[in-house]
Amino acid sequence: MQAIVLAAGEGTRMRPLSSSCPKPMLPVAEEPLVAHTARTAVEAGADELILVVGYEAEMVREYFGTEYAGIPVEYAIQEEQRGTADAVRAAQEHIDGRFAVLNGDNLYDAPAVKHLFESGPSLGTYRVDDPSNYGVISADGNRVTGIVEKPADPPTDLANTGAYVFPEEARDWLEVGESERGEYEITDVVERVIAEYDVTAVELERWLDVGRPWELLEANEWKLGELERDIQGDVSELATLDGSVVVEEGATVKPGVVIEGPALIQSDATIGPNAYIRGATLVSTGAKVGHSVEVKNSVLSPGATLGHLSYVGDSILGRNVNFGAGTNVANLRHDGQAVKHTVKGDRVSTDRRKFGVVVGDNAKTGINTSLYPGVTLSPGITTLPNEEVSRDK
């Protein structure tokens, strides 16, 4: 079966991390976010991947090439991001037979996706606390009876996970009208399939829609937690590695370093001396964690550098970020309330008691900079020595 993976969007709610990197290509453990979706599709039985690309499409092409995980890869271009039905329509000429559709910025429970593929036509569901924020599924037993988008009075707590298996006939049903949001919605196609077929509701045990920076942290917590200990790099005998720690070949861990897993240190990364890494932490290719630096539950993108005597907690650092010596990230409000963060100009709750900063590519801090919880640093921005940053910059 063909699996269409939607990976065309920039991800404006993920800015500044998506300013030069499409959201589906942001790092999650050992692979980009979209690669986890693609691998789940392959493990579920897909025999061909069709990646719908658009924003910074070449980054996706360079990563996947023409074959991934042993199966062929085709590409479809969505010139403008005008909704999910429009995205699938971009792949229309490639569709031959029954086909699956998955969101490239979602993480899915792999066994459930396998069941989804075997049960088509089918739709993936997940129980949520506030279904009014999602497309909501009605079902009679395991048969889908309806779907409604973000209802004020949800009929159930079953959210639509954006995971579908369509009959071949649906290939010709992708010409839908514009929704109230000005987009072409795949849910219009789903409604027609529900009307003409028995559609199986497949409930996922685990699912994550990765739309905002703190959800990228959560995605890394999930996938780093699945890693098994594997030490291939150059690790000093005077370093201490506890738990599920992966040190890839070409990485260097110097004397006095303590790493408490789950943690992934990728190739060409350098840790220490005397650094402390804990929580679910990703240190990407070429990143550097200097002398006496502490990193907790964070994502360091490729080339990020933390000068000595710094602290970074519950944060995401973009590519080639450089923190000067003594830079400290605050990740906890004194009143104990959830930290707020700016998304598309609005301050919204992260629902996380601890959340640090989000730093765009190539930003730099001066020595002894202090960064407050929930702050965003734009790509290429700089701070002065001893500066306190309490607002986005």
Catalytic residue list: 308
Helix axes 57-64, 33-44, angle to 10 degrees: 50
Query: What is the spatial distance between Cα 165 and Cα 270, in angstroms, rounded to a whole number?
Result: 44
